[in-house]
Amino acid sequence: MSIILALLAAVFASFTAILAKIGIEKVDSNLATAVRTIVVVIMAYLMVVITGETESILTISVKSYIFLILSGLTTGLSWICFFKAIQIGDVSKVVPIDKSSVVLTILLSFIILREPATALVVSGGVIISIGTFVLIGKDRKKTSKRKVFNTKSYIFLAVLSAVFAAATNILAKLGIEDVDSNVATFIRTVVIIIFAWGIVFFQGTFKELKKISKKSYLFLFLSGAATGFSWLCYFGALAIGKVSVVNPIDKFSVVLTMILSFIILKEKPAMNTIAGAILITIGTALLII
């Protein structure tokens, strides 16, 4: 069941990046993140109500709250870095770098969570890692200094996003023990929305809300809904499965996102892109076996 939920999380996550890329045009990335989070927190709360777990919010231990809050903060930081990166860079380049967090997550799950390092998990993780680096590749074309600076900037932001995402997975696993996954998702999302809107008000970009087009709002809301579904599936899988298996399967969204970026965003695939996608698919298959 955890594998099915992780795969569903990957499908919804792939749509998140594409929809966000379309909606984030001419919109401050932090403001876009804050707008998306409104949808996510509403969805998370509705799931808590539907499952009848509203009262359990008050019975969660202090330890779980601490780890869930920390997980929410690292998610917020990861989002800020990620959506700024896709605003200035290609989705098909940023997403693979961001999803390289799978390597760090697997390592931390072995060290901190004491999960068994089986041959299939290690092999799958290594192949996914190789596929990710192949995907990143090198741009051999001559570019202007400004474009080189932008490239370095979005790569750096994507790497930071990956680091924070890895921390998110471990902290969430520690905090989700003996806690309903939907309640855990809601608590984390509340932290994220406070964090995101805090930054927006600090920067003063909330004044630009009126300038956002209806088209951008539509795609940001759809992106938020896709994120909400992805999270509900992912943390449901995380609650009953192992981080070292669930996280890499969820990161199969890299391949799905790339395919959608080629079809919808008209980004051109290169040989390294195709080769990397094949390696990631093989690595994911090993984890499912």
The DSSP annotation for the chain comes to: -HHHHHHHHHHHHHHHHHHHHHHTTTS-HHHHHHHHHHHHHHHHHHHHHHTT-GGGGGS--HHHHHHHHHHHHHHHHHHHHHHHHHHHS-HHHHHHHHTTHHHHHHHHHHHTS-----HHHHHHHHHHHHHHHHHH----S---HHHHHHHHHHHHHHHHHHHHHHHHHHHHHHHSTTS-HHHHHHHHHHHHHHHHHHHHHHHTGGGGGGGS-HHHHHHHHHHHHHHHHHHHHHHHHHHHS-HHHHHHHHTTHHHHHHHHHHHTS-PPP-HHHHHHHHHHHHHHHHHH-
Find the mean pLDDT for residues 35-39. Answer: 90
Per-residue pLDDT, averaged over 181-194, amounts to 88
Instruction: Using the predicted structure, report yes or no on whether residue 214 has a pLDDT greater than 80.
Output: yes
In terms of pLDDT, which residue wins out, 202 or 284? 202
At 289 the pLDDT is 64
Q: What tens digit of pLDDT does each residue of 120-157 get?
A: 778 877 887 788 777 666 554 544 555 555 566 888 88
- Pick the more confident residue, 202 or 288: 202
Q: What is the pTM of this model?
A: 0.70
